[in-house]
Each structure stands twice: as structure tokens, then as C-alpha cells.
Amino acid sequence: MTQPARISFWSAVPTPLTPGLQVDTESVGRMVEAAVADGMEGLFVAGTCGEGPWLPDRERRRLMAAAVAAAAGRLRIAAQVSDNSVPRILDNAALAADCGADFAIIAPPATLLNATPDRIVALFAGAAQACPLPVGIYDLGRHRPIMIPEDRLKELYLLPQVKLVKDSSGAPERRAAALAAKAEKPELRLFNGDEFRCLEYLQAGYDSCLFGGAAAVAPQLRRIGALFAAGRLEEAAQEEAEMKQALFGIYGGEKIACWLTGLKYYMVQRGLFSTSASFLGYPLTDECRAFIDRYAAAA
């Protein structure tokens, strides 16, 4: 086990929306203040959990600008800029830079015709090399139809502009590629993006965790980090087990039936969001609602 130099936690935050599906900037401000109070180091906005691919450009601009203004330098702000061509990614990155974001996160696009391994790598490499911001690569592995080839991950991670990796692949071989890159480039920060495998990745040598559910389980995350740093692994594992149960309760069980709606409803119950509106329309079951009501009241 390689102990990271420091353990920090970021949240891939949901986007608060009005009933008309516009960004609720007042709720963005409350969300940022809560993240500061929760001990988060950074926020990832407009990702999958943040519904970035569904937001109109004008709303993504409002989201990023509001988050940067509210953070006021207290948190790092990373913004997803993914798209299906290098020029479109760079346009998105320019928008993020104009809003004051600290990092541009590039994830696999939803579609990419003629998606040969060389063309996928060229998309990431071309965008990273010309990006006006430091770059993070978001690896979803086989969870997305467009996947960076496993044997090409390391070369992308070693690009000078790439400063961080959000690894949500859950794949040991892809984790090994990330750790191999970090061995050659120690300043590369590796974030685990799987909220159900936090301790496993810290033990493997990842620096931090970055996932959507962090907005709801920040106290547990801090305790896991402190226990891990102190070498109290059995206690850390017990804390993680309790955290997983809380996440399953918010998400609607192991099938994640309520996912984003459950997370947003939790944010409403915490007094941070005004609505649980989203583009994705996940349900909110009675069981999930009841768990969140109890969990938010106890918190």
C-alpha cells in the first residue's frame, strides 16, 4: 500500500434547477457554502451528476460562473467540457476558462463516429494539448460506449497538460495504468470516482475521492480519510460500510433506482436546493423519500 501525501475529497455536485430547468444560482451559492463547511477541497460541476451534457450553453455558463463566484477561491472548481470533436471541446473549455474554472474535465463523448482506438486517443490528446486550462481525464471505462483503450491510458495521463484523473471505471487493469502513470509523474492526482470503493482505491495509492454522493456523506468521508491516514483500517472499513448504506438509501437501493432525484431531494431536505427538478426524470419512491427524510433530519 502506498500512502498518499495527502487525502482530500471533492464532490461531483448535482446542478440545482428551477421547475423550468434553468440553473438556480441562489441554490448554487448555498451548495458551495455547504461544500466549504463540509471540508471539500473542490467541486466538479456540469459532469454526469451535474447534467452538463443536457444543459444549454447559456445555463452551463450561469452554473460555472455562479460556482466560481460563490467559491471565491476557497474551493477549486472543475468543469466538464466533453464533446465529440476537438474544436467543440476547446470551445467548451474556453467558456469554462472565461467563467474562472480551475480545471477542464474531459470525459468520453456520448457519440463518436468511426471511433477507432487511434481516433479516441487523438480526441483526448488533441483537446488536452490545446486546452486553456489544466486538464482532468474522466475515465468511465466500460460504463460508456466510447472508451479510451486500456493500453493507451498511460500515454494520455503523461501528457504535460493532464493534472488529474477521475477514475470511475472500477477496473483493476485501468487502475494499474493510472498508478503506472503516477509512478512516472508523481504530481498527477488520482481521484477515485466510485463511491462504493473509496477505501479500496486509497489503499491502492489513489490520492483522493471525487464522486456525486460526496455531497451527502461528507462527514463519513472525512472520518474514513482520518482513520485511513492513522492506519486504523478496520475502523475505516466499518465507516465505509455505513456510508455505503446511506448512499444506497439515498439512491434507492442497490439498483440505484432513484439516483439523481434522490440526491437532489436530499439537497432540498438539507435546505440547499429549492427543487429536485432534473432533465433525467429518475423516480423518487416512497421508501427512498422516507429514508432521506430520516437521514437529513439526523444529519
Query: For the domain that residue 212 is a member of, what is the CATH number?
Result: 3.20.20.70
Q: How far apart are CA 139 and CA 148, in angstroms?
A: 8
Q: How far apart are CA 38 and CA 163, in angstroms?
A: 24
C-alpha cell at 102: 480551475
The answer on pLDDT for 212 being more than 60 is yes
CA 124 to chain CA centroid, nearest Å: 18
Within a domain: residue 65? Answer: yes
Q: What pLDDT was estimated at residue 299?
A: 82
The answer on pLDDT for 2 being more than 70 is no
Within a domain: residue 84? Answer: yes
The answer on pLDDT for 154 being more than 80 is yes
Within a domain: residue 278? Answer: no
Q: What pLDDT was estimated at residue 6?
A: 60
Mean pLDDT for the stretch of residues 161-176: 98
Residue 251 φ then ψ, to 5°:
-85, -10
Within a domain: residue 291? Answer: no
* Mean of the per-residue pLDDT values of the chain: 96
**Confidence band of 8 (pLDDT split at 50, 70, 90):** confident
Within a domain: residue 197? Answer: yes
The answer on pLDDT for 3 being more than 70 is no
The pTM is what?
0.95
The secondary element (H helix, E strand) that includes residue 162 is strand 162-167
C-alpha cell at 255: 439498483
Within a domain: residue 264? Answer: no
List the beta bridge partners of residue 135: 104, 162
Nearest to 212 by CA among 93, 52, 25: 52
Within a domain: residue 103? Answer: yes
Note whether 266 and 9 are within 8 A (CB). no
Tell me the one-letter amino acid at 172.
P
Name the percent of the chain lying above pLDDT 70: 98
Query: What is the per-residue pLDDT across 42-66, written as a single tens digit (0 to 9) for each?
Result: 999 999 999 999 999 999 999 999 9
Within a domain: residue 260? Answer: no
Domain count, the chain: 1
The answer on pLDDT for 264 being more than 60 is yes
Mean pLDDT for the stretch of residues 192-207: 95
Mean pLDDT for the stretch of residues 261-286: 97
Name the percent of the chain lying above pLDDT 90: 96
**Confidence band of 72 (pLDDT split at 50, 70, 90):** very high
Mean pLDDT for the stretch of residues 56-81: 98
Tell me the one-letter amino acid at 88.
R
Give the number of other CB atoms < 10 A from CB of residue 74.
Answer: 12
- Domain residues for the domain of 104 are 8-250
The answer on pLDDT for 1 being more than 60 is no
**Confidence band of 7 (pLDDT split at 50, 70, 90):** confident
Name, in order, each residue with C-beta under 8 angstroms of 239's C-beta and a sequence gap of 6 or more: 220, 223, 224, 227
